[in-house]
Amino acid sequence: MAAMFTVDFQNCFIFIILCLLSTIFYSLFVVRKTKAGSDLPPSPPSLPIIGHLHLLLSLVSHKRLQRLSFKYGPLLHLRVFSAPILLVSSASIAYEIFKAQDLNISTRNLSTNEGSLFFGSLSFIAAPYGDNWKFMKKLMVTNLLGPQALERSRGIRKDEVNRFYSDILDKAMRKESVGIGEEAMKLINNIICKMLIGRSCSEENGEAEKVRGLLAKTDSFLKKFFVAAILRMSLGISLFKKELTGVSLRYNELLEKFLVEYEEKLDQEHHHQGSEMLDVLLEACRDGKITRNHVKALFVDLFVASTDTTVHAIEWTMAEIISNSKVLERLREEIGSVVGETRLIQEMDLPNLPYLQGVVKEGLRLHPTAPLVPRSFQEGCKIRGFDVAEKTTLVVNLYAIMRDPEIWEDPDEFKPERFLASSRSGQEEEIAREEILKYIPFGSGRRGCPGANLAYVYVGNVIGVMVQCFDWKIQGDKINMNEAVGALSLTMAHPLKCVPVPRTLFSSV
């Protein structure tokens, strides 16, 4: 017991000495240098050694940082150990940075795990801005995510949405409870698989379950990667390298199986209807422009970026609709007047459904799936007259920007009509200009999400089907809208489960 006390006392003594030395060092060198040579943005009180790390590690970081901006201002200088951070919680400041400093912040400087398919050195998400990154983005936009590519793959999504409707209808007939997120996950997984490899993942042989399990495991890494990005230290990655390598190996096994099967079908079937995206990627492999691991790493990025985020968006938006009877009624009236009662809503209807578009946008405004966006300044610059040193990490709080009471009326209320031009007659151009400034659920600039168009299509069509075809019974008086704690993406603390009741039966969908 005495030995344990001695060890604890020694550890406490060492920790106190380190705190004192850190405080003295920071006061003598960092603060003096700042006062003498730099004009930094305001900085809230920090802790010795770790600085503001505790704020970024809080259970709901975006809300903690939002409160910080209310108290100290929309442009703040933070530090984690010795790493400087610029926190932006203002729409106008964010717009200025994305416009004037876009190239300067186009490299994320993320710590990567060499050889890993997820957040490895070959990852598109983690790749530095350069020729290889631009080549891969061009391939994605041209063959997968751009307007023309989405038009060519519309049939894939239509078939899967029809299957989604049939699955929910089957459960409704049996009066079973439906997990909205669970059903949306199956749908999105099948769609992205078909768009990438020409077929859906099988439920029978366990493929689909493997993919969902890997995505769930991957999601648990995201906050760790965020902190590692803030620290700009490979140490952050090395702390969970073994787990990361294990997940990467499981991804590699699954994706290699997909690729081998695809190539065998190409050899056996002369008229094989495959995946436009995968055909182009394999051709680039044969030409030596990319490697096979580049293809697999890109597929991991696309699975991670397109699945979990879209599922959360669908779940949050449905929760808001069910909780707002007037929104539900107006949405059904619009769908009924445009689509009618004889067929299922389709993608081609979305441009003619402005209120549905407003509902989707409002859901993403209140619940952006990635509330904090990290970037990195490659060169020093001036922002609003303040100095920003090179290698400073930029953190844009999308959650705070899209709930800013100075630019959004009733910012915490679900009001889809705020996005309708008819609510402000003759001000269409002004509304569009304001949206560019203050509505950025997918980030902005070169590193903004290239899949934004696909996300709007996904969410709009799925929400439309669920509203058009079913009533939704919930347990209790209201839906619990609390957020899950400790997650980087905005996730419901209690997954949305409802019992669907058929409204309209379609004999042919």
Cα 154–Cα 155–Cα 161 angle in degrees, nearest 5: 90
- Beta carbons of 255 and 117 less than 8 angstroms apart: yes
Is 240 in a helix, a strand, or coil? Answer: coil
Please give the Cα distance from 41 to 384 (Å, whole number): 9
The number of beta carbons lying within 10 Å of the beta carbon of residue 32 is: 11
381 known ligand binder: no
Structure tokens at 474: 């919930």
CA–CA gap between residue 25 and residue 402 (Å, rounded): 39
Cα–Cα distance, 65 to 60 (Å, whole number): 9
Start-to-end CA span in the chain (Å): 74
Tokens coding 483:
């957020």
Pick from 271, 506, 277, 463: nearest CA to 356 = 463
CA distance 143 to 59: 39
What CA–CA distance (Å, rounded) separates 52 from 43? 10
Distance separating alpha carbons of residues 141 and 490, to the nearest angstrom: 26
Q: What residues have CB less than 8 Å from 119, skipping those under 6 apart? A: 110, 112, 113, 125, 126, 221, 225, 237, 244
Tokens for 430? 């002004």
| Structure tokens that stand for 238 in this block | 């090395």
Q: How far apart are CA 219 and CA 247, in angstroms?
A: 11
Query: Residue 27 gets which letter from DSSP?
Result: I
Q: How far apart are CA 398 and CA 371, in angstroms?
A: 5
DSSP symbol at 317: H
Contact 142, 279 (CB under 8 A): no
**Which two three-digit tokens encode residue 337?**
């007047």
Strands of 180-322, DSSP E:
none
Residues comprising the binding site?
A: 449
Annotated binding site for heme: 449
